[in-house]
Amino acid sequence: MTAPSTDTPTASAALALGDDALVLSHRLGEWMGHAPVLEEEVALANIALDLLGQARVLLSMAGDEDQLAYLREERAFRNLQLVEQPNGDFAHTIARQLYFSTYQHLLYARLAAGDGPFAPLAAKAVKETAYHRDHAEQWTLRLGDGTEESHTRMNRACAALWRFTGEMFQPVEGVDVDGGALEAEWLASVEDVLRRSTLDVPEGPRSGAWTAGAGRQGLHTEPFGRMLAEMQHLHRSHPGASW
């Protein structure tokens, strides 16, 4: 199965948003047993579980959740390149969470307020993402305005992931929001958090010409294929089995 069914704008959008949640959930799952403090084992797992729950609802709107998760090739995934980025150190994970959860929270707030097909999911997800956003902001403040080392690491992480943030505001078929307004609100919020954290607002482009919208079109970064190989291996080894 290389190409999912995206016959309708809703299925197409469900896949894009579902893949974001699925892939980031998987990355956070990689932290389990490795977190810097026990409370973060709980928090990161909690966020991963919320995202996996969202992914399951969304993928089910587009087809069979397991077929979509386990039997698609890399080129058929529609997630943002941001969420597939490796965990790196805790600062990288937090920078990725800050960028993504701010976007997701603003997006779901809009979807929850509308009457489109995503309104019921968004009504629940907006509460979860508010918590994720708060968690990411609190850690950005602690790491940015903590020690010299944490400040350096957090600045480095925010800068490294900056070039993946433009993709979030490219239009997605079936997602009826004003990308420009979303982007303006996202920028204002993230810049405010970074300033309060004594961190630099990165200066580079928010998406190079070749990355704009790339993940949404199935063009991913190299680490993603390896992530999928691990995620899909067992399922693919037993065709047709139920678990």
Partner 1 sequence: MATAAAQQTARTQPGTGRDGTAGSIDADDALARAFDAAVAADERIEPRDWMPDAYRATLVRQIAQHAHSEIIGMQPEANWITRAPSLRRKAILMAKVQDEAGHGLYLYSAAETLGTGRDELLDKLHSGRQKYSSIFNYPTLTWADVGAIGWLVDGAAITNQVPLCRCSYGPYARAMVRICKEESFHQRQGYELLLALSKGTPEQHAMAQDAVDRWWWPSLMMFGPPDDESAHSAQSMAWKIKRHSNDELRQRFVDICVPQAESLGLTLPDPDLRWNEERGHHDFGAIDWTEFREVLKGNGPCNEQRITQRRRAHDEGAWVREAAAAHAAKHTTGAPQA
Residues that bind partner 1 (CB under 8 A): 22, 26, 29-30, 32-42, 45-46, 48-49, 52-53, 55-56, 59, 65-66, 69-70, 89-90, 141-143, 145-147, 149-150, 153, 230-231, 233-235, 238, 240-243
Question: How far apart are the C-alpha atoms of 98 and 127, rounded to whole Å?
Answer: 16
Least CB distance to partner 1 at residue 84 (A): 13
Q: How far is the CB of 234 from partner 1 (least distance, A)?
A: 5
Q: What is the DSSP string of 64-127?
A: -HHHHHHS--GGG----HHHHS---SHHHHHHHHHHHHHHHHHHHHHHHHS-STTHHHHHHHHH
- For the CB of residue 208, give the shortest distance to partner 1 in the complex, in Å: 29
Categorise residue 213: left if φ over 0, alpha if ψ from -120 to 50, beta otherwise.
left
Least distance from partner 1 to the Cβ atom of residue 175, Å? 22
State which residue, 36 or 120, has the beta carbon closest to partner 1.
Answer: 36
Nearer of residues 191 and 230 to partner 1, judged by Cβ: 230
Helix (H, G, I), strand (E, B) or coil at 131: helix
Least spacing, CB of residue 201 vs partner 1, in Å = 20
Q: Which is nearer to partner 1, 53 or 166 (CB)?
A: 53
DSSP state of 4: -
Single-letter amino acid, residue 95: A
Q: Name which of 123 and 231 has its Cβ closer to partner 1.
A: 231
Question: Least distance (Å) from partner 1 to the CB of residue 48?
Answer: 6
Is residue 67 within 8 Å of residue 239, measured between CB atoms?
no
Q: Toward partner 1, which CB reaches closer, 149 or 178?
A: 149
Which tokens is 236 given? Answer: 């693919």
Quick one: 165 or 197, whose CB is closer to partner 1? 197
Both tokens assigned to 150: 């944490």
Nearer to partner 1, 159 or 231 (CB): 231
For residues 3 and 65, what is the distance between their CA atoms, to the nearest angstrom?
14
Q: What's the one-letter identity of residue 57?
A: V
Q: 85: closest CA among 150, 8, 26?
A: 26
User: What are the structure tokens assigned to 73, written together?
Assistant: 């090739």
Q: How far is the CB of 179 from partner 1 (least distance, A)?
A: 29
